[in-house]
Structure 1
Amino acid sequence: MPQNVSPKKRLRRDARRRMVNKSRMGRIRTSVKRCADLVSAGDSAFSLVRSAQSELAKGVSVGIMHKNTAARKIRKLMIRLNRASG
């Protein structure tokens, strides 16, 4: 356990950031799963894919996800959407 003020503050800040990042990742996973389920069911889920795309981009911009990971997930969603619609 840290004894000085600065490392104690760092622990508090890290705990807050961890909660925010966990929440954001949960929101990303939920949106991706939701639109993947709808697309595989054959429904028109273009707006959900767009919202999942937006969530993934936000994850990249705040630094909790690598840009190639987000690009890969977006590509998979778009492939599923195109197969279901076409």
Structure 2
Amino acid sequence: MANTPQARKRIRRNETRALINGNRLSRIRTFVKKVEAALAGGDKDAAAAALKEAQPELQRGVARGVLHKNTASRKLSRLTKRVSAL
């Protein structure tokens, strides 16, 4: 258990940040799933539209420190490749 006031505050802050970051990551996954669902349905227009919505979410995750830059780039690249292959 934390003994100093600073350590107690850090624990409180970490719990709050973990909730916020978890929500952000969940939101990103939801947008990616929408793209994958459109791909599975074979609807190129819907997939392209969903990809256009997912791209800023992935980049926002990078800016907020939830995702690594290369991870977001890799996901975006693979999704774009799949959408264009339809």
After TM superposition, the score normalised by the length of structure 1 is 0.92
Distance across 2 between alignment mates of 1:47 and 1:12 = 39
Counterpart of 2:3 in structure 1 is 3
Percent identity, aligned pairs only? Answer: 39
User: Which ranges of 4 or more aligned residues in structure 1 deviate by more than 4 Å?
Assistant: none
Distance across 2 between alignment mates of 1:75 and 1:37 = 17
Q: Where do 1:1-86 residues align within 5 Å?
A: 1-43=1-43, 44=45, 45-84=47-86
Do the aligned partners of 1:36 and 1:80 also contact (CA within 8 Å) in 2?
A: no
CA RMSD of superposed structures (Å): 0.9
Bigger Cα displacement from structure 2, 71-80 vs 42-51: 42-51
Structure 1 unmatched runs, 5+: none
Determine helix, strand or coil for the equivalent of 2:76: helix
Q: What amino acid is aligned across from residue 9 of structure 1 in structure 2?
A: K
Determine helix, strand or coil for the equivalent of 1:3: coil
Structure 2 unmatched runs, 5+: none
